[in-house]
Amino acid sequence: MSLSWDRALSRPQIRQLAIGLESSSRVLYSDLNSSNIDGGSVLPAVLISICGPTASGKSGLAIALAQRLPCIILSADSRQVYRDFDIGTAKPSGLERSLVPHHLIDLCEPTETLTVAAYQQQAQALIHAIHAAGTAVPLLVGGTGLYIKSVVRGMVIPQVPPQPTLRAQLATLDQPWRYQLLCQVDAAAGDRIHPNDQVRTLRALEVFYISGIPMSQQQGEHPPTYPILQIGLDCLEPDRIEPNGELDVGWDSSGLGSQDRDGKPELDPLTQRIQIRTEQMIALGFVDEVRQLCQRYGDDLPLLNTLGYREMRDHLQGRCSLAEAIAQTVLHTRQFAKRQRTWFRADPAIRWFNASDPGVVDQVWAVVQVFLQQQISLGR
């Protein structure tokens, strides 16, 4: 049975988070001599986000920054919030979690559904607690664009969890009929949603029929009042990044590589990373993880239809060889990375860095230092 996970933190829980975060950050970080930031002062109330396509090295960069600055990592990954889905989601290892506090991981059971609104509420509560402690900087790290946008833009999200019964009823109607119905009850949403977009049409109808208020009247943005530095990480050609960190307008987000002397396509750097990481997951026991998940939750669990897990499940069911499952995982991950690139590229506030550059950590750290010093000078 699928349940919606949409719990709010109480004020006492938020205060307790602040105490715990302050304690953990003081234990883990006591020396800021490597920077010009005074380690004895309260750090400014800011947020730093690190985004980009999968396998670009976001987690590694975050941990590297945390060795130079008191940080607490907030995961922005829509699958890492589920327990037992570990290897295939590239959850941070025990060693990584011992180096830097990580939050927004293992929030709920795989049989539950975590809404974007619930994620946003948890993230905002944690950021508030970290700011209240004043001893660390929150790092929002991940590749789920909607999670990151919900926080950095302060999206106003309808508080309506998924309604399986209602969706099943609406699914009996053809998309043209559903869209026509949407235009009747929420004309503004109908103007924004493409007639063929079944997912968004269903969601808009669901919100209206449960709340009685058109979804278009429940949406908007209330950006946070604290300063935000948005870092983008990708495997890009150096001449594609402008000096100010913006992407060249001619950047091709397809991720296609060039051709070798025989005319065969060469793997671009990101695809190479995806291939290496997929092979590492197999070596870590990814197939066994999927086998155990199928045995525990059933092979029809919706999360097993997601990237990597679907391909390994097909292998376990005899539909393909392991080599074919790996190849399909790489292909589908590459396609997913392309969609991530398209999403993040639309945000002009992101400052981009080349993940393939050996000096990328120093480059990002220099920008972070300037950002923090500016906020300190402004008395943030």
Give tens-digit pLDDT for 270-289.
Answer: 999 999 999 999 999 999 99
- What pLDDT, in 10s, does the model give residues 333-351? 999 999 999 999 999 999 9
The single-letter DSSP state of residue 10 is P
pLDDT value of residue 219:
87
Residue 159: predicted pLDDT? 83
What pLDDT band is residue 34 in, cutting at 50, 70 and 90?
very low
The answer, yes or no, to whether residue 24 has pLDDT greater than 50, is no
CB within 8 A of 84, min separation 6: which ones? 110, 292, 293, 296
Q: What is the pLDDT of residue 84?
A: 98
The fold of 164-218 is Histone, subunit A (1.10.20)
Q: State the sign of the Cα–Cα–Cα–Cα dihedral 262, 265, 267, 268.
A: positive
Indicate if the pLDDT at residue 2 is higher than 70: no
Which contacts of 28-32 are long-range, i.e. CB under 8 A and separated by 24 or more positions?
A: 28/70, 28/99, 28/100, 28/101, 29/69, 29/70, 29/71, 29/135, 29/136, 32/69, 32/70
State the pLDDT at residue 85: 98
Measured CA to CA in angstroms, residue 275 lies from 180, 258, 268 at distances of 44, 17, 11
The answer to whether the beta carbons of residues 120 and 151 sit under 8 Å apart is: yes
Give yes or no for residue 26 having a pLDDT over 80.
no
Structure confidence at residue 36 (pLDDT)? 45
CA distance 11 to 3: 25
At which residue do the structure tokens 């981009």 appear? 352
Q: Tens digits of per-residue pLDDT, 40-59?
A: 557 899 999 999 999 999 99
Q: What are phi and psi of 146, to 5 degrees?
A: -70, -35
Residues 369, 377 contacting (CB under 8 angstroms): no
Q: What is the pLDDT of residue 33?
A: 37
pLDDT, mean over the chain = 86
Secondary structure E strands in 93-179: 102-103, 112-114, 137-141, 155-156
Q: Which residue has the higher pLDDT, 254 or 236?
A: 236
Please, which pLDDT band fits residue 244 given cuts at 50, 70 and 90? low
- Of 1-5, 94-98, 128-132, 330-334, the one with minimum mean pLDDT is 1-5
Per-residue pLDDT tens digits for 145-184: 999 999 999 999 888 888 889 999 999 999 999 999 999 9
Rg of the chain over all Cα atoms, to the nearest angstrom:
22
Q: Please, which residues bridge with residue 3 across strands?
A: 112
> Among all chains, which residue has been given the structure tokens 């990708």?
234
pTM: 0.82
Both tokens assigned to 255: 């991720």
Mean pLDDT of 256-272: 64
pLDDT value of position 6: 43
Strand duo 228-234 + 47-51: pairing: parallel
**All structural domains of the chain with their residue ranges:** 3-157+221-233+348-377, 164-218
Determine the pLDDT at residue 4: 38
Q: Is pLDDT of 308 > 70? A: yes
Rounded-to-integer distance, Cα 185 and Cα 180, Å: 9
Longest CA span, the chain: 65
pLDDT-derived band at 364 (thresholds 50, 70, 90) equals very high
Query: Span 3-157+221-233+348-377: which CATH code?
Result: 3.40.50.300
**Token pair in block for residue 290:** 């999927």
pLDDT at 160: 87
- Tell me how far apart the alpha carbons of residues 350 and 338 are, in angstroms, rounded to a whole number: 17
CB neighbours of residue 119 within 10 Å: 24
Coil, helix or strand for 47?
Answer: strand
Measured CA to CA, the distance from residue 141 to residue 62 in angstroms comes to 7
Which of 126, 102, 134 is CA-nearest to residue 22? 134
Per DSSP, the three-state class of 148 is helix
- Average pLDDT, integer, range 190-214: 93
| pLDDT band per the 50, 70, 90 thresholds, residue 378 | confident
Tokens 């397809």 belong to 254
In this structure, are residues 178 and 205 in contact, taking their beta carbons and an 8 Å threshold?
yes
* 236-240, 252-256, 304-308 — most confident range: 304-308
